[in-house]
Structure 1
Amino acid sequence: MSDAKEEALLIVDDEEINRAILANIFSSEYAIIEAEDGQESLDLIESNPNGLSAILLDVVMPRLNGIEVLRRLYQTGLTERIPVFLITADIGSSTMREAYNLGVMDVIQKPVVPYIVRRRVNSVVELFRARRRLGAEVERQRDQLLLQAQQLAEMGMGMVEALATAIEFRSDESGEHVHRIHDITCHLLSNTPLGEGLTQEQIRQIGLGAVTHDVGKISIPDAVLNKKGRLTAEEFELMKTHTVRGAELLSRIPQMREHAAYRYAYDIALHHHERWDGRGYPDGLVGDQTPIWTQIVSLADVYDALVSKRCYKDAFPAHTAMDMILRGECGTFNPRLLEYFCQAEPVLRQFYPPVKGVG
């Protein structure tokens, strides 16, 4: 018994001599706690439910008898965690049957034989201890595996974020574009009714997904990606493929698929160029067929492109960009989304460093 004296043994009997006999048998191995009746035993158990190795329970006692105590313990699930032994002279078949149905580990007849009762009790106590140790180890390993899976998923997401930022540099941008799209998306979902029904954790995941919206541009040749003039029809069709390529890329990263943000990232990458009137790409989705978070990324992407300097244009002032969006020069958007975007735009403007000519 390597855990000797670390836990206590509760002896419940209204006869002092019976308690003394049992205490004498186990005092060298356990701290002994005594109760004179069933109600007192329940009070002691309630005050120390995790510090008991076993309960030795008499049947015939005042206030609450042993079977009534056993019923209470069974109802609270304690008989699953603490082994209970009936120590009684009443071993009628009905008493034994109910006791075992209520989860008692053993029924020991009075008068007790010391070496027999010690062996029977200690064997079960050790079994419960081993089960607790095993349960704790299983729990520890499960937590470790969950942590490792989370770390792998975060690593995969981090790699994709780094790739998304690298693509921005490749297209002659500052690399801040993806972070602004993240901030605009999270702000609108957190501070307007557009995010109604979403938890903060879901909004965080959507923000992570927004970072990867243009990851498919890795497949677009530099000559098209950085072209200063207007794209030809053929070049535009090639540029449009970055949506499908982005979704395909995300789906091929095992760690990404295990990340909670994956479902949002996939849809955002695939559908952030859809439009409210169905004239977007790649699937021509109409209205709310595109999830609201992807609609937000779509509008944020257009706004950021307008107010930022690009290889093919200078930055527009914020008020000019908003006029262009509201006049439908950049495609059609959800009217409700436009309403809340307009309300939030003075705050969103603060996400940008002051640049001459932008305001």
Structure 2
Amino acid sequence: MSDAKHKAGTILVVDDDAISRAIIGNLFEAEYEVAEAANGQECLDYLMSDGNHVVALLIDIMMPRVDGIEVLHRLAPTGFLEHVPVFLITAERTSSVMEEAYRLGVMDFIVKPIIPFVVTRRVRSVIELCESRKRLRNTVEDQRLELLERAQQIIELNVGMIEALSTAIEFRDGESGGHVRRIHDFTHLMLTRTSMGEGLSDEDIDDIAHAAIMHDVGKIAIPDAILCKPGRLTPEEFEVMKTHTVQGAELLESIPQMRGLGAYRYAVDIARHHHERWDGRGYPDGLVGDQITIWSQVVSLADVYDALTSKRVYKAAFTREESLRMIADGECGAFNPKLLESFFAVEPELAALYERLS
């Protein structure tokens, strides 16, 4: 038998009649490697050990031990019949057998006595068709993977640009640049480690954490004299500062490319509502309780926690203990009691996270 590397794959012929196996094998041995099995069990054993090279299975229905139909039943769950054409060898074709065989995935029947040119033409045509489909599937899969890779690169580029823009705004605000990363990680941890993330998929949580990065994007529209003022803002200046929420949402809505990002709808909502408070005393819309989305509530608390524990142009950092007391006592505004309970449960993890990021 010739080296299989120089042939177009292996045709497995399964028949308890050695003469039938020899006749069929002779039809294909010039072009294909031919393997033989005398019954269904031998067929299954061969496919288990060396089935990767099989390009067609020609199998008799009536055989001892394991017949052809039983082989099909055992192969069906493996997916083999979806990738390799199977031909049933039979002396008669009853409608019930044909119906079951086709249902299981048989491609065609080879009727005894065998007519050589009919068999070779049918089998070769089907093998060529199946191989062409495999090549097409492989090409489509390669293209799909390439498109996914490109899409991932675009997503990473977009996220990078968003982070860069948000960080640039931070620097303009007199911050060190770590605020963006801390808000992202705080939000992600709260949604993955507490009940606040219930009902959200991993993809949703990733999108929300990326959206959190853009919560203060509206500060780009705030004059330097107000944004960078080291002292306390006047009531008039504070009213201007408050507009960064609305301006941030409008800015994000005005960027067509943003709409294709999974984070878009979260980003717009968070930018507008991360200063809303549970008791309705926040801004800009005075939302109350559950009118504020979970993601905006989480980012709101993240923003407060980070503001308290970090040095700003207008204040020194509070200690961790003092920061927690102020949040618990409502000195920084009212928060959802369930959110606070979840926050205090994982705050040690958040503190450790901040320590690593500092």
Q: TM-score, with normalisation over the residues of structure 1?
A: 0.85
Moved more, 41-50 or 24-33: 41-50
* Structure 1 equivalent of residue 323 of structure 2: 321
Q: Identity of aligned pairs, percent? A: 60
Tell me how far apart the structure 2 counterparts of residues 96 and 174 of structure 1 sit (CA, whole Å). Answer: 75
Deviations 1:168-198 (A, max 9, x none): 1111221222222223333444444544565
Tell me how far apart the structure 2 counterparts of residues 216 and 194 of structure 1 sit (CA, whole Å). Answer: 26
Tell me how far apart the structure 2 counterparts of residues 60 and 337 of structure 1 sit (CA, whole Å). Answer: 69
* Structure 1 equivalent of residue 58 of structure 2: 56
What is the DSSP-based 3-state SS (H/G/I as helix, E as strand, rest coil) of the residue aligned with 1:212?
A: coil
* Structure 2 equivalent of residue 281 of structure 1: 283
Tell me how far apart the structure 1 counterparts of residues 74 and 345 of structure 2 sit (CA, whole Å). Answer: 60
Moved more, 216-225 or 151-160: 216-225
Would the alpha carbon gap of residues 93 and 335 (structure 1) be closer, same or farther in structure 2, given more than 3 Å must change? closer
Moved more, 191-200 or 291-300: 191-200
Tell me how far apart the structure 2 counterparts of residues 96 and 344 of structure 1 sit (CA, whole Å). Answer: 64
Across the two proteins, how many residue pairs are aligned to each other? 354
What is the DSSP-based 3-state SS (H/G/I as helix, E as strand, rest coil) of the residue aligned with 1:331?
A: coil
Tell me how far apart the structure 1 counterparts of residues 72 and 335 of structure 2 sit (CA, whole Å). Answer: 67
Note if contact 2:75-2:81 (Cα within 8 Å) is conserved in structure 1: yes
User: What is the aligned counterpart of 1:38 among 30, 37, 40?
Assistant: 40
What is the DSSP-based 3-state SS (H/G/I as helix, E as strand, rest coil) of the residue aligned with 2:55?
A: strand
User: What is the aligned counterpart of 1:80 among 79, 82, 96?
Assistant: 82
1:146 paired with 2:148, answer yes
Shift of 1:54: 0.6
Shift of 1:114: 2.9
Tell me how far apart the structure 2 counterparts of residues 85 and 320 of structure 1 sit (CA, whole Å). Answer: 79
Shift of 1:138: 0.8
Return the letter of the residue paired with 1:268: I
Of Structure 1 and Structure 2, which has the larger fraction of its residues in helix?
A: 2
Note if contact 1:153-1:256 (Cα within 8 Å) is conserved in structure 2: no
Deviations 1:184-241 (A, max 9, x none): 3334444445445656655444332222211121122222222344444444333222
* Structure 2 equivalent of residue 227 of structure 1: 229
Would the alpha carbon gap of residues 330 and 45 (structure 1) be closer, same or farther in structure 2, given more than 3 Å must change? same
Structure 2 residue runs without a partner (length 5+): none
Would the alpha carbon gap of residues 337 and 99 (structure 1) be closer, same or farther in structure 2, given more than 3 Å must change? closer
Moved more, 207-216 or 287-296: 287-296
Shift of 1:71: 4.7
Would the alpha carbon gap of residues 26 and 252 (structure 1) be closer, same or farther in structure 2, given more than 3 Å must change? farther
User: What is the aligned counterpart of 1:119 among 118, 121, 129?
Assistant: 121
Shift of 1:248: 3.3
Shift of 1:145: 1.3
Correspondence list, 1:235-274, <5 A: 235-253=237-255, 255-274=257-276
Shift of 1:149: 1.6
Would the alpha carbon gap of residues 12 and 181 (structure 1) be closer, same or farther in structure 2, given more than 3 Å must change? same
Return the letter of the residue paired with 2:46: L
* Structure 2 equivalent of residue 335 of structure 1: 337
Correspondence list, 1:151-230, <5 A: 151-195=153-197, 202-230=204-232
Return the letter of the residue paired with 2:269: D
What is the DSSP-based 3-state SS (H/G/I as helix, E as strand, rest coil) of the residue aligned with 1:28?
A: coil
Structure 1 residue runs without a partner (length 5+): none
Note if contact 2:182-2:357 (Cα within 8 Å) is conserved in structure 1: no
Shift of 1:131: 0.3
What is the DSSP-based 3-state SS (H/G/I as helix, E as strand, rest coil) of the residue aligned with 1:115?
A: helix
Would the alpha carbon gap of residues 10 and 176 (structure 1) be closer, same or farther in structure 2, given more than 3 Å must change? same
Deviations 1:224-269 (A, max 9, x none): 2223444444443332222233233334445544444334333322
Tell me how far apart the structure 2 counterparts of residues 93 and 341 of structure 1 sit (CA, whole Å). Answer: 68
1:107 paired with 2:103, answer no
Shift of 1:163: 0.3
Return the letter of the residue paired with 1:28: A
RMSD: 3.1
User: What is the aligned counterpart of 1:136 among 114, 118, 138?
Assistant: 138
Tell me how far apart the structure 1 counterparts of residues 160 and 299 of structure 2 sit (CA, whole Å). Answer: 19
Note if contact 1:79-1:103 (Cα within 8 Å) is conserved in structure 2: yes
Tell me how far apart the structure 2 counterparts of residues 75 and 185 of structure 1 sit (CA, whole Å). Answer: 44
